Every structure is written in C-alpha cells, then in structure tokens.
Structure 1
C-alpha cells in the first residue's frame, strides 16, 4: 500500500505491518539521510475519509528508547510527500503522542518511518514537528542561490584586468559588477516572491 524512498537508495515497499492500521519502514544509516519520500503505491486507496499520518522515529541515546515525531500526512488526494528529517532533534516534539507504542528498531543506527491510517479530520488537527516540511520554495531558493554562486565563481575565474586584456574583436566582455548587480537583484526578488520567475 505504501512506499518509502531515500535518494541514492532502492525504493522500499516492504513495510512491516505492526497493527491493522499501522505500517513501519526501517531506515538503516539514518544519520546520512536528509529527506525521505513517503508515497502510496496506487494499488490500494485509503478508505473514504481516511489518510495516513507519517511519523519518524530514531534512537534516543539518553533514554535508550525511540523518539517519535509527526512529519505530516498523505491521503488519496495527496498521495506522496517529501519530508526533511536531517536536523530533527530528540527535544523537538519528543513528548508528542504517537500511535506506534513500542516498536523496536532493528539496530541503534536504524530509524523508522511509520504510517498510521487515521481519519482526515484528525490528521488536519495535528501539528507536524517544525522543520520537517521540505517546502518547494525553500528548495528552489537554495538551488537558485547555489546556482548563482556557481555562475559568479565560474565567471570570476576568467577575470582579467583591463591592462591584461588582449584585443579580440570576436570576444565580448561583461564587467563583473554587472553580474553582481544582477545577482543581488535576483536574490532580492526571490526573497520577496520565490515564484516571480514564473510570470
């Protein structure tokens, strides 16, 4: 019914059913995982009015137990979601209620992703742990900044002073200050409206 995907790894469809309405995926070497995608396989829809709360659990070295945190949910009209799990800490929402009881992890370096089938009304009232949502705007902003940094660094590697320039009628030169002005303008517009480039 569900799948779990981590970049650079095979898709997991081998969820362990721990109760009639609860499923768990094991995530080995979770410390190296930044984002996880949870999705419906498309073979079995949720019953009407139901969805799946998605939880993340990792070992707590202080208590020796597991810390469960609500990431968000999936539903028939939202069959997949990307969650950011890097940076989640034990103190962040650790005391929140979770429906999984004591599901033992396979090893200390193994985290778990759980899906609990619950009414949509209940899912809408739950608050996911802060920082778990991998928003498109943040991802796009980060990508754009990295791309602009790369462009500027690449173009700067070819910089020469006017005294060093050799006359070449087939070459056009652009002052680096022009790229810096464009870069600053683009970042300012991106911060105001991450989707401005779509217009």
Structure 2
C-alpha cells in the first residue's frame, strides 16, 4: 500500500504491518538521510474520509528508547509527500499511535517511518513537528541559487585573456561577461517571481 524513498537508496515497499491500520518502514543509517519521501503505491486507496499520518522515530540518545515525531500526512488526493528529517534528531517526541508495537531496533543508527491510517478530520487538526515540511519554493530558490553559482564558477574556471588564447577553429568562445549578465538577470527575475521560468 505504501512506499518509502531515500535519495541514493532503493525504494522500500516492505512496510511491516504492525496492526490493521499501522505500517512501519525500517530506516538504517538514518544519520546520513536528509529527506524521506512517503507515497502510496497506487494499488490500494485509503478508505473514504481516511488518510495516513506519517511519523518518524529515532533512538533517543539519552534513554535509548524511540522518539516519535509527526511529519505530516498523505491522502488519496495527496498520495506522496517529502519530509525533511535531518533536523529532527534532537528535541522532544510527541504523542503517537504506535505504542510499543513498533520499537526501534537496538541499533543506534536505525530509525523508523510509520504510517497510521486515521480519519481526515483528525489528520488536518494535527500539528507536524516544525522543520519537517519541505517548502518547495524555498528549496527551489536555494537549488537555483546553488546552480547559478556552480555554473558561473565552473565557466569562470576556464577563463583566459585574449592574449592567452590559442587559435582553435573548432572551439567557440563566449565572453565571461555574457554569462555574468545572464546570471544577474536570472537572479533578478527569480527574486521577482520564483515561477517565471514556467511561462
């Protein structure tokens, strides 16, 4: 019914059903994971007026017991979601529906992602732990800025003066001022409207 994906790893579809309405994925080496995607496989929809609350559990360094935190939810209308878990390794856990049914492995690097099937009315009233939601506009802006910086730095690393150029009829040279002008224009347009590129 559910899948779990971490970048650079195989898709997990082997959720352990710990009760009729609760499913758990084991997440080894969670310390190296920044984001996790939880999604419906498309084979079995949620029952009418139901959805899935998504929780993240990791070993508490002090007690060694599991700490559960609400990340958000998925529904038939929103069958997948990306959650940031890299900042959730510290702090207090909250109420969760898993009890002792899904306990973390004795390994200090094993975490779990749990999906609890719950009424939609209950899901929309729950408050996820701060920092778990991935803001697509902010993330896109950050990615774009890093991409622009990388392109400019890469192109600038090949810069030579006209005196240093050797004639090569098969090569086309672009003045670095053109790339800089494009870079500045793109940044300006992004700051005015992050979605301008969709037009």
CA distance in 2, matches of 1:12, 1:165: 53
* Contact map agreement 1:67 1:90 (CA 8 A) in 2: no
Aligned to 2:148: 148
* Structure 1 pair 51–166 and aligned structure 2 pair: CA distance change class (3 A): same
Aligned to 1:104: 103
Query: Deviation digits for residues 66-111 of structure 1, max 9, x if unmatched?
Result: 11111111111111111121122321xx242211113311222100
Query: Deviation digits for residues 118-137 of structure 1, max 9, x if unmatched?
Result: 11111111121222222332
- Aligned length, in residue pairs: 197
CA distance in 1, matches of 2:71, 2:120: 15
| Counterpart secondary structure, 1:18 | strand
CA distance in 2, matches of 1:151, 1:34: 24
> C-alpha root-mean-square deviation of aligned residues, in Å?
2.2
Aligned to 1:160: 160
**Structure 1, unaligned runs of 5 or more:** none
Q: What are the residue-to-residue correspondences of 1:113-152 with 2, within 5 Å?
A: 113-152=113-152
Alpha-carbon shift at residue 18 of structure 1 (Å): 1.8
Scaled by the length of structure 1, what TM-score is found?
Answer: 0.87
Aligned to 1:52: 52
CA distance in 1, matches of 2:115, 2:168: 64
Aligned to 2:181: 181
Q: What are the residue-to-residue correspondences of 1:13-24 with 2, within 5 Å?
A: 13-24=13-24
* Structure 1 pair 100–50 and aligned structure 2 pair: CA distance change class (3 A): same
